[in-house]
Structure 1
């Protein structure tokens, strides 16, 4: 046992085996949480704080065991077949069939790809997707992480957040509803909102009014998403369900009908044990 300068015993050093497992776990977590479809050797070294040679050695072992694999281009590391199989079995044991069945019914009923996503900080992680059977469709990408404001899932989570209510708009915050003597741009803060902030406020207000969020993809993508929040039973586990597809099929006149189906799917997932399990991934 070693003694610290203050005279108190210091923690026993970790064995090399335990340290290796901890480092490997950190790498696996970094790869799984990567928002860009995997991570490079340099990125993983920076994220975990491990030197490049250590990361390189551990990645070789993890790839050899099937826990990780290289991307087609070879420069990024992604979840391997063994890790994916472990994830599927874990989800299956905790109620994934119920979620998949609900998403399948939603995809069949709307003709579009249906997904469930979870909030992680200022991003949304897609957990499970069921693809549309249409030839032209959105390809759901489980494991992809996106900024909240760039997906219908995220807009729904912001608009109906019950913990901090970042998207809840008070009468004073409504467009044009700022304090009369503040001389501000409508948010009561004394500053003028940017066009992007104004557009976001309108999206949140519209979602709260409708009960579901609508967000068109980047210009030229031709995609539209529609989402509703899921009551997981815990204010700290925030989930939402969405459908995504071509704007040409998800036309304005269909929004209410599509929204009703998405809300019904979200309601049917309310309180399911799987929500708690998914929320911990």
Structure 2
């Protein structure tokens, strides 16, 4: 099971299809092992091998991803707020949740500008650096991760932390009982993230988070 998951984890937004050799290099598995695992993964719809011999993620993962996102029951309220954030700031707006030792971009609306911070929904990113990562850690369940400065200010800013050309600002979104639901963020090229934009983005984020908290249903048990 672990080796099969390692195989699936080789794919990302920049590598939507991979050759057998690429899978072997990324996973560290023998080609014979990969072919054996691929047979089972294809049978259950988790992997597809095209006529060109390249492997792609299968439709079963889309179904599972849809179920994962549906479990949060937030899309109908979050997507309109992301649009408002983009309209008010001109930059990309995102909603992140923590999943183990990573953060997942659950919902996203990209900036209409040609030069922008682009990321696909479902992308997994590290919890090291990045405004949304700081918020998820600071307001999460583990006191050891709490950043007093972020908790006191109620937001986090990153200027080139994860990517030297990208800046972002994020705020927490809480549910009933002040339980953290995720991080709402605005991000864009560092060259455009001057103090005026940061001030405008923070005000827009705080207003959006307040509206979301007023409409967010209790988390599923």
User: Paired residue for 1:276?
Assistant: 219
State the match for 1:256 in structure 2: 199
| Cα displacement (A) at 1:276 | 3.4
- The 5 Å alignment of 1:96-135 reads 96-135=75-114
Cα gap change, 1:276 to 1:60, in 2 (>3 Å): same
Q: Distance in 1 between matches of 2:26 and 2:163?
A: 31
- Residues 145 and 87 (structure 1), Cα distance of their counterparts in 2 relative to 1, 3 Å cut: closer
RMSD: 3.9
Tell me if 1:229 matches 2:188. no
| d(CA) in 1 for partners of 2:28, 2:37 | 6
8 Å CA contact retained: 2:132, 2:169: yes
- Cα 1:45–1:166 shift into 2, 3 Å: same
Q: How does 1:54-69 map to 2 (within 5 A)?
A: 54-62=36-44, 65=45, 67-69=46-48
For residues 24-60 of structure 1, the C-alpha deviation after alignment (integer angstroms, 9 at most, x for no partner) is: xx957973x67855794687797xxxx6454121133
Point out the structure with the larger strand share: 2
The counterpart of 1:142, out of the listed 118, 121, 124, is: 121
The separation in 1 between residues aligned to 2:177 and 2:39, in whole angstroms, is 40
How far 1:145 sits from its partner (Å)?
A: 1.5
The aligned length equals 208
Alpha-carbon spacing, 1:81–1:111, altered in 2? closer, same or farther (3 Å): farther
Q: How big is the shift at 1:95?
A: 4.3
Distance 1:129 1:239 in 2: 13
Residue by residue over 1:75-123, the C-alpha shift from the partner in whole angstroms, topping out at 9 and shown as x without a partner, is 7653x34532564477469442222111111121111111111112332
Unaligned runs of 5+ in 2: none
Q: Tell me whether 1:155 sits opposite 2:134 in the alignment.
A: yes
* Aligned equivalent of 1:242: 185
Q: How much does 1:251 deviate?
A: 0.8
1:83 and 2:41 matched: no
TM-score, normalised relative to structure 2:
0.72
TM-score normalised by structure 1 residue count: 0.59
2-side partners of 1:87 and 1:220: how far apart? Answer: 26
Distance 1:214 1:154 in 2: 10
**2:27 and 2:177 mapped to 1: Cα distance?**
32
